[in-house]
Amino acid sequence: MANRPFRPLEDVGTVSVEAYVFVSTTNPGPRAACKAIRQVPGVVRADALFGGPAVIAIVRGEDLAEMDAPIDAIVQLPMVTDTETHVVRDIEHEDEARSRTRA
């Protein structure tokens, strides 16, 4: 399956949270992990990397709780040895919210 195209956050309507999931895998394993991660619902994009970590995935959901299921599914893949998740700060929307509260 071809990688799903990345869509900027503002193109998806009400979705408000995304995270980068850095994935370490067994060796060999990055290619298989990347293909399996791309099949997980909630994963917007997954790419294999040169160097560590082996794979990076972008997970998107309505809120943090909704992102638990895809992240848990990634962690449970047999070739995955470790993950590190970083939630994205939407700086543009933070700035807009600050200027609305000042007005």
Domains of the chain listed by start with CATH number: 13-102 (3.30.70.920)
Residue type, position 12, single letter: V
The number of residues in the chain equals 103
Reading the chain (103 residues) residue by residue, the pLDDT tens digits are: 445 555 554 554 554 799 999 999 998 889 999 999 999 999 999 999 998 899 999 999 999 899 999 999 999 999 999 999 999 988 776 666 667 677 6
The three-state secondary structure class of 45 is strand
pTM of the model: 0.76
The separation between CA 20 and the C-alpha centre of its own chain, rounded to angstroms, equals: 4
